[in-house]
Amino acid sequence: MNNGTLIWRNGELIRWEDATVHVTTHALHYGSSVFEGIRAYATPQGPAVFRLQPHTKRLVNSCKIARIDLPYSAAELDTAVLETIRQNGHESCYVRPLVIRGIGRMGLEGRHNSVDTYIITFEWGRYLGSDAIDHGVDVQVSSWRRSAPGTAASLGKIGGQYVNSQFISMEAHDNGFSEGIALDINGYVSEGAGENIFVMSDGIVYTPGAWNSILLGVTRDTVLTILRDLGYEIRFEPIARDMLYLADEIFFTGTAAEVTPIRSVDRIKVGTGQPGPITKAVQEVFFAITSGQREDHHGWLTHVRQSQPTLGD
Ligand SMILES: Cc1ncc(COP(=O)(O)O)c(C=O)c1O
């Protein structure tokens, strides 16, 4: 990992090696943290953060669900993200804002403990391997289900909930697959361990909805806009497991995974086994916008060097 040298903690930039926590930190015991994953891409105008505001909004919303009193506004966090990238001198990077319940009392309740906010940046390549974007990945349907509605809060990106995602990923890796797809409690397709899923059949695009226990991904929202701009019909419907085997195309979306084609599910080839025309059309627009090669007419990029410096600069 090629990390930044500075980490933003509670309003100040500190050295990477000083960003440590005490062993009684509540989040270590009970998963009481919320986080985001954001990418900044290299563009001809320097680094640009992709969809900063929706990510920050989701962080604020995750805190609301987890009843964590976040001491910063969305605007303050946006400024802090840009400042951290700038000070670390990245041309492109992954950004990990993290809010944790810290030290105070032991025990479940946690609201008497400190709340600590961090912004971590590091350089990170292709999440599912360098070949994945061009040729696709082989995945399995996991034996682990996503948590049922009312047992977890899938709309919040809350640390403890990611134990379920770890089970899905580890099982897939142990079985020789790049990633696992979880079904929801009713047996319908939910999402990958850390990705949303799109399924194409006879020219129509299907994707699960919030009722399928998914995280509402920012990349999912981006891709829905791209698909609408390209004129495709989109249906938010329950997707049966066997639809995955009969689909013409399937792809994952996520900040880490970007737009990654799926070439097989449970060793059954998806379509021709090559990325299909809808997948390629979406990838072309997505990567052209994120690399600054195509006009950003939706205003998705925040250019790090052109944005306002923070107070105190
Ligand atoms: C469980 C889960 N689903 C979907 C996604 C994709 O969301 P996004 O596109 O906002 O990165 C992520 C990644 O954050 C995730 O962790």
Count of domains for the chain: 2
Give the up-direction half-sphere exposure of residue 77: CA atoms within 13 A in the CB hemisphere: 27
Cα of 294 vs centre of ligand 1, distance in Å, is: 24
The atom of ligand 1 lying closest to the CA of 221 is 9
CB 40 within 8 A of CB 85: yes
Reported as a single tens digit per residue, the pLDDT across 249-306 is 999 999 999 999 999 999 999 999 999 999 999 999 999 999 999 999 999 999 999 8
Residues 266 and 137 in one domain: yes
**What is the residue range of 17's domain?**
2-123
What pLDDT is recorded for position 308? 56
Could you tell me if 136 and 264 lie in one domain? yes
Catalytic site includes residue 157: yes
- pLDDT tens digits, one per residue of 146-187: 999 999 999 999 999 999 999 999 999 999 999 999 999 999
Report yes or no on 286 lying in a domain: no
Burial degree of 260 (CB within 10 A; 0-12, 13-18, 19+) = buried
Do the domain assignments include residue 302?
no
Q: Which of the residues 57, 64, 157, 280 is marked catalytic?
A: 157
**Does residue 102 sit in the same domain as residue 156?**
no
Whether the CB of 254 sits within 6 Å of ligand 1? yes
Give me the chain's average pLDDT, please. Answer: 96
The CATH number for 103's domain is 3.30.470.10
Percentage, residues of the chain above pLDDT 90: 94
For residues 270 and 235, membership in a common domain is answered with yes
209 Cα–ligand 1 center, Å: 13
> Do 116 and 189 fall into the same domain?
no
Q: Lowest-confidence range among 39-43, 124-128, 239-243, 300-304?
A: 124-128
Residue with tokens 């034996």: 143
